[in-house]
Amino acid sequence: MNEMHEKISAALDIIEHCSSLTVLTGAGISAESGVPTFRGKEGLWRNFRSEDLATPEAFWNNPKLVWEWYDWRRNAARDAKPNPGHFALAELEDQKKKFTLITQNIDGLHQLAGSRNIIEMHGNIWQIRCTKCGDVQQSHKVPLDEIPPRCGLCNEIGRPNVVWFGEIIPMEVIDRSLKAVEECEVMLIVGTSGIVEPAASMGLVAKQTGKTVIEINLEYTPNSPLFDLTILGKSGEILPLLFTSRKVYS
């Protein structure tokens, strides 16, 4: 049996025998749905780096430019459908006594796949938050009617309801995420480069509190040496192999 199959069967055994599972996903799980990853070359827009646009400074300096970037990303995500990786996590949730899905993604594909106990650490690209009165509206309008969009209540400009670099992640979100890590037996880390904090430290907390951590990625990441298993490959192909599906897909 080659190394990949050995790792898959080891991971299958670990996941099958755990009753409490916490998963952390990043942009990589949506790559096979056609959503550009954050740092991959396909994620580049007009040669800007994501980190340079996803900040409050960039927004207040040029709200139109930052909103054109989000409009481009909403357009890229609009036709995206969940892939077998998203569906596998939704089915795993049904099979586990305790299951929490922490995602760094803002594309909403986990919800579409049927996942329920989701923590969106970095917000959601389909929500617009007023910069003045804080009103949050769902909007799937692509392209946006006006850029930047305006609040329906106070007419101030809206912003994407996401957490930018340099912005605090709400303590309630951090607390829920840490609790999910502390309470699980096994943590699965899928499709994240492990660069962005505090999400990237979740795997470290899991190891420090004695959990088994399995990583799925196309390549090794800076945190891979910490983890029990790193399975190299596409999450849409690997995740469905990590449990015995009880659903009959037509």
Smaller CB distance to Zn ion: residue 4 or 133? Answer: 133
What is the distance between the alpha carbons of residues 111 and 202, in angstroms, rounded to a whole number? 22
The rounded distance, in Å, linking the Cα atoms of 237 and 144 is 34
The alpha-helical segments, DSSP class H, found in 79-217 are 84-95, 109-113, 171-183, 202-208
* 100 binds, options Zn ion, ligand BV8, none, Cβ within 5 to 8 A by partner type: none
Residue type present at position 101: L
Please report, as residue ranges, which positions from 186 to 245 form the binding site for ligand BV8 (by CB under 6 A): 191-193, 195-198, 216-219, 221, 234-235
Q: Which residue number has the CB closest to ligand BV8?
A: 28
Cβ distance to ligand BV8 smaller for residue 39 or 141:
39
User: To the nearest whole angstrom, how small is the minimum distance from the Cβ of residue 123 to Zn ion?
Assistant: 17
In this complex, which beta carbon is closest to ligand BV8, that of residue 38 or of residue 227? 38
Q: Which does 198 bind (CB under 5 to 8 A by kind): Zn ion, ligand BV8, none?
A: ligand BV8
Please identify which of the residues 5, 86, 110, 122 carries the catalytic annotation: 122
SS3 assignment, position 186: strand
Based on the shown chain and the rule CB under 6 A, indicate whether residue 167 belongs to the binding site for ligand BV8.
yes
User: Is 65 in contact with 121 (CB distance < 8 Å)?
Assistant: no
Q: Of 89-128, which residues contact ligand BV8 (CB under 6 A)?
A: 104-106, 122
Contacts of 245 (CB under 8 A, 6+ apart): 88, 91
Amino acid type, 78: R
Query: Is residue 31 close enough to count as binding ligand BV8 by CB under 6 A?
Result: yes
Q: Is 86 a catalytic residue?
A: no
Q: How many Cα atoms are found within 13 Å in the side-chain-facing hemisphere of 134? A: 0
Residue type, 221: T
Catalytic residues: 122
Return residues touching ligand BV8 (CB under 6 A). 26-28, 31-32, 37-40, 51, 54, 104-106, 122, 162-169, 191-193, 195-198, 216-219, 221, 234-235
